[in-house]
A and B are shown apart, each in its own frame.
Chain A
Amino acid sequence: SYELTQPPSVSVSPGQTARITCSGDALPKKYAYWYQQKSGQAPALVIYEGSKRPSGIPDRFSGSTSGTVATLTISGAQVEDEGDFYCYSADSSGNHWVFGGGTKLTVL
């Protein structure tokens, strides 16, 4: 079955740039989506169709894809950005979807 691979954790100091990667064989043809889940809350979409930001998401969040790797970049990370981040995409058939294993972002 299809898999997306993320690093388990990323840690940065406030104001630094955090980069979270997501590797998957179908990413050259399928968009990546990114979600943030803070403790005790439902997940929230932060990037869709690889690089687009929903309304209300700060512009320090950006997304990109190069080959089989999608990257979520948080430029000037803030303490309130801490949480678990997940990439999400479809397999080559487009009918089955999968999340990456999740990356815990620590900002301190």
Chain B
Amino acid sequence: VQLVESGGGLVQRGGSLRLSCAASGFTFSGFWMSWVRRAPGKGLEWVANINQDGSEKYYVDSVEGRFTVSRDNAKNSLYLQMNSLRAEDTAVYYCARGAYLYVWGQGTTVTVSS
């Protein structure tokens, strides 16, 4: 079982970024998937999750309307489209399997410059 995030980088405030998470070693279409972040000096924060077929999506209040979680089961991939980025979105972003976060990727770093 492996999750590999990509797409992080440096972006200006107000900009956009799309994170990807490539899954392998399990039946991706059978699981909820989640995004979690950890900002510098802060604790973990649940960001969003999505059900198996993408028909249910939930977000933390601070990203609602700016971030969109999606998935492509044919490509075993999870995505996080991040728009209108703010300095407080600077964090390491992790994807995780399940709503209960049984398996985690190693994370990808997003830095929003002001």
Contact = CB atoms under 8 A, between A and B. Distances in A.
Interface of A: 1, 33, 35, 37, 42-45, 48-49, 54, 84, 86, 88, 90, 95-102
The winner among A43, A48, A84, A102 for most chain B CB atoms within 10 A is A43
Nearest to A103: B43
Nearest to B34: A97
Contacts, number: 53
Given A43-B94, A97-B46, A98-B46, A48 B104 contact: no
Interface of B: 34, 36, 38, 43-46, 49, 58, 60-61, 94, 99-107
A1 B44 contact: no
A96 B60 contact: yes
Contacts of B46: 88, 96-99
A97 B60 CA distance: 8
30 contacts: A1-B61, A33-B100, A35-B44, A37-B38, A42-B94, A42-B104, A42-B105, A42-B107, A43-B36, A43-B44, A43-B94, A43-B101, A43-B104, A45-B101, A45-B102, A45-B103, A86-B43, A88-B46, A95-B58, A96-B46, A96-B58, A96-B60, A97-B34, A97-B49, A97-B99, A99-B44, A99-B46, A100-B43, A102-B43, A102-B44
